[in-house]
Amino acid sequence: MIEVNDIHKSFGDTHILKGVTTSFSKGKTNLIIGQSGSGKTVFLKCLLGLFTPEQGSISYDGKIYSEMTDEQKRNLRQEIGMVFQGSALFDSMTVEGNVKFPLEMFTKQSQSEMQDRADFVLKRVNLVDAHHKYPSEISGGMQKRVAIARAIVMNPKYLFCDEPNSGLDPKTAIVIDNLIQEITEEYDITTVINTHDMNSVMEIGKKILFLKDGLKAWEGTNKEIFKTENETVTDFVYSSDLFKKVRQMYIEERN
């Protein structure tokens, strides 16, 4: 579990985060949503330890990050998996090489142990015949799956995803959403996803945090978001005509 207590973050005179308090449970897909400039990227970077809040605290399974020693912080980083928006694969490495990279950097495993682990995670993300291909030789959806395999190769306790569906067609995006949710539940990971994809919100939003102007404007589940009367949330989530129709159908069914 990750617990966030009253964090504030500023850059010069610009106050980005203004006292956000929330928690993210393990075994659930926790989503962060909000308009551009709402503070969600800064918030995610604070969770990752890339930015240091001026006030408040962030705890990983009861251990406050700011109170950790340098060694404890290094150990924590090895328990974190990250799926970047653009996948961030190394073009000069094969799929297998990309997945093995964290093991080579941070473990003392033998070559056979690393090979077994890479084979396992690639099979888990349904990539059994792509080991020796390069990122340029596979589709965007396959690249995302490689990025997920690399993120989980160290068997992380925490998984962070920054816009994992960016650039993907709707059908492939659903495949990636389902894969992230399956892995989260299967391995009991604390997963936090920064997204603007409303399909993801509706499909896998077991916990949704909505940020607006650096504040927590709303939080709940994908089921509760249909019921909320919070205008700020409904204006954002149901901004498209399609989602307005979906919401109206839900209201009519309730009545």
Domain boundaries, the chain: 2-221
Alpha helix ranges (H) inside the chain: 40-47, 70-77, 95-106, 111-124, 140-152, 170-187, 198-204, 224-227, 231-237, 241-254
What is the H or E stretch that residue 14 is in?
Answer: strand 14-24
Q: What is the pLDDT along the chain (255 residues), one digit of tens a residue?
A: 999 999 999 999 999 999 999 999 999 999 999 988 899 999 999 999 999 999 999 999 999 999 999 999 999 999 999 999 888 999 999 999 999 999 999 988 999 999 999 999 999 998 988 999 999 999 999 999 999 999 999 999 999 999 998 888 888 899 999 999 999 999 999 999 999 888 888 889 999 999 999 999 999 998 888 788 888 888 887 766 666 666 666 666 655
CATH number of 2-221: 3.40.50.300
